[in-house]
Structure 1
């Protein structure tokens, strides 16, 4: 894992196609290290979350090439490596686990980012019926120590179909349902996949709650007694 952080640091300073072309071998080496690191993490998560069983690292990894067609920022490359670990990998729509490697800004997290309208409706419905289970997850000492609490975009007022004085309006206002933990670059340099696995395991009940909500069609969301 010695190549990833140094390569990304230099890419940040030289984000152009000419430089990248001359460093293609270094890119391939760092990407391969990331892939192997990710394989270890996926295997670790697979011991406690069956949804990632059979997931291949390449299917979870995001491309380093930026889509600049509709962006004012014309830099051709991302300056980080990212991967989404969930059913169907980066193309999946379920709640899962995210890994972000960027010099000075490494973090792991997960949940639901920019959920589709129907997904957001289902999660809010689940909260309406059973906010207590989500609060219990968020208030667990280990979860709070690792992730701090629930994160994501929020509405300034109540969502449609919910009163402003709803007892769980603080949760219903969220438009993303995320948890994030930042860590030192040394974790990557040391190739400490277990560090990520252990922290993702703390997130598992949060991911389960969101995925349980997404399962519901016409039936009422389940309430945990």
Structure 2
């Protein structure tokens, strides 16, 4: 199909390294064509190719090259670090194609690593409470989801979890459930070999990962549906 993902350019990572070194608007503008050709346009192709593949697989995730990509520019208004440019480029595919939804696919190509994730990331207070209550009141469903992920070679990320059990869940004593209730996010990740970003096989790799992460999507969507209905 026209616009099918063929791979990121060979200079994609070198461009990010040079941009990180210069951190200069003048340098970026001089090299903008390189950015568009090696990184941004291929990322747009990746988003739209994945949208078609995700639709065919019934994953309920979509995006487009205009809405899904994050800006390379950093928001420095309230940051101590005033460097104007990110060290990565990233994108989200979501149920409605915007960046405002939960239960998303995220792809990240950068100097700190290349990876993908399926995530309920910083869900709002109502949804996060509903997820925690689901863990406490329907532990078998949560354990089945975790078991299915493990069978698929994935496990929930524990980064950023609370040190103490949130109020209202003190009665939960099972160590595994307590650890899950302390999560602020529900995320699984897939490391991408930077050497593998330059060809179309990356699409199959990311579709395979997202299918393996489907138990997390299904678990969260069922809870979200009840929370919104309530």
Indicate whether the TM-score tops 0.5. yes
RMSD (Å), alpha carbons: 2.1
Q: How many residues are aligned here?
A: 217
Write out aligned runs for 1:145-156 (5 A). 145=153, 147-156=154-163
Which residue is 1:32 aligned to? 41
Superposition TM-score, scaled by structure 1 size: 0.87
User: Partners in 2 of 1:207 and 1:109 — Cα distance?
Assistant: 11
| C-alpha distance in structure 2 between counterparts of 1:193 and 1:65, whole Å | 26
Note the residue ranges of structure 2 that are not aligned, 5 or more in a row.
1-7
Query: C-alpha offsets along residues 183-211 of structure 1, whole Å, 9 cap, x if unaligned?
Result: 21122122321111111111111012112
Cα contact 1:187–1:195 (8 A) shared by 2: no
Deviation at 1:87, TM superposition (A): 1.8
The aligned residue for residue 24 of structure 2 is 16
CA offset at residue 34 of structure 1? 1.1
Contact conserved, 2:118 with 2:188, CA < 8 A, in 1?
A: yes
Give the Å deviation of 1:150: 3.6
Distance 2:59 2:117 in 1: 18
> The residue matched to 1:94 in structure 2 has which SS?
coil
Contact 1:42 1:57 (8 Å CA) reproduced: no
Give 1:166's match in structure 2, choosing from 165, 169, 173: 173
Determine whether 1:208 maps to 2:218: yes
Any stretches of 5+ residues in structure 1 without a counterpart? 221-225
Specify which of 169, 174, 190 is matched with residue 181 of structure 1: 190
- In the superposition, relative to structure 1, how do residues 218 and 186 fare at CA in structure 2: closer, same or farther (>3 Å)? closer
8 Å contact kept, 2:126–2:227: no
CA-CA distance at 1:50 after TM superposition: 4.8
2:72 to 64, 70, 90: 64
The CA distance in 2 between the partners of 1:107 and 1:218, in whole Å, is 31
1:91-130 CA distances to partner (integer Å, 9 max, x unpaired)? 2222111111113500111221112111211111221222
